[in-house]
Amino acid sequence: MDMAEQTAQLVARGLRFAESGAEPAPARLAATVLLLRQSGPGLEVYLLRRAASMAFASGMYAFPGGSVDRVDYSGAPLGAADRPGVDWPARLGQPEPASAVVRAALRETAEETGVRLAVADLVPWTRWITPVFEPRRYDTYFFLAALPAGQQPADVSGEADRTEWASPADAVARTEAGEIFMFRPTSVTLGELVGFDTVGAALAAGAGRDAATAVLPRVEQSADGTARFVIGG
């Protein structure tokens, strides 16, 4: 299913939902991490393809991540000592769950790749909420993190049937060509990294980004009945 087919299906689901008058499902908090490494003149991102046995998003390329769990709420709130100069509630727009979101990002990365990150490694990048017409919805925070020296990611959870390092430009091109498949938040976020030549430049850019205001894609219908899928704005 290429991007055009995916968009057509999204529009169809959005229209059916609007006609049904149903209430949106609650969006569950989640976190995902873009592991970055330098490769020659550019940067690469670690991608995994979710195994066919997975109940959700099987066969889709994604970043390591998952839902915020109860265990992520344990412990003291994160403060300046965890990452100097970062006010996590303000950066994420979540007063109480901010620490849980960060802990989920660390935990999920370790569980899915074996890579152990520190709080100070995480740089908030963006936030996406699943459209209201989807039955399974997430409020997902995307973080950047440089691959720590001496560590190598691997599928340690069994949730992936393929892993790879890819440049953002290559991954986006393959997605647009229908060679690999990923949800729109994944491909758009990769596209935002295409212009960065170094990991350091991407991380520095993340420090000034708005990661609190969520992107909430939607389906809009004009007066003439034409419908389109709108990502933001």
Sketch out the chain's domains with CATH numbers. Answer: 24-214 (3.90.79.10)
**156 vs 28, residue with greater confidence:** 28
What confidence tier does 77 reach under pLDDT thresholds 50, 70, 90? Answer: confident
- Decide if pLDDT at 147 tops 90: yes
Q: Residue 139 burial by CB count (10 A; 0-12/13-18/19+): exposed, middle or buried?
A: buried
What value does the mean pLDDT take over residues 191-213? 96
The pLDDT value recorded for residue 165 is 97
Torsion of CA 126, 104, 204, 121, to 10 degrees: -170
CB 224 within 8 A of CB 140: no
What is residue 45's predicted lDDT score, i.e. its pLDDT? 98
Residue 13: pLDDT over 80: yes
Check: CB of residue 66 under 8 Å from CB of residue 98. no
pLDDT for 101: 96
Taking a C-beta distance cutoff of 8 angstroms, is the pair 167, 127 a contact? no
pLDDT class for 180, splitting at 50, 70, 90? Answer: very high
Q: Is 4 helix (H, G, I), strand (E, B) or coil?
A: helix
CA distances in angstroms from 151 to 63, 147, 162, 210, listed in the order given:
17, 7, 19, 29
Mean pLDDT of the chain: 90
Q: Is 26 exposed, middle or buried (0-12, 13-18, 19+ CB in 10 A)?
A: exposed
Cα separations in angstroms, 35 against 20, 110, 153, 188: 40, 12, 9, 16
Q: What is the pLDDT of residues 57-67, one digit of tens each?
A: 678 899 999 99
Pick the more confident residue, 171 or 15. 171
Please report the pLDDT score of residue 57 as a whole number: 64
- Residue 3 pLDDT exceeds 90: no
**Tens of pLDDT, residues 42-58:** 999 999 998 877 667 67
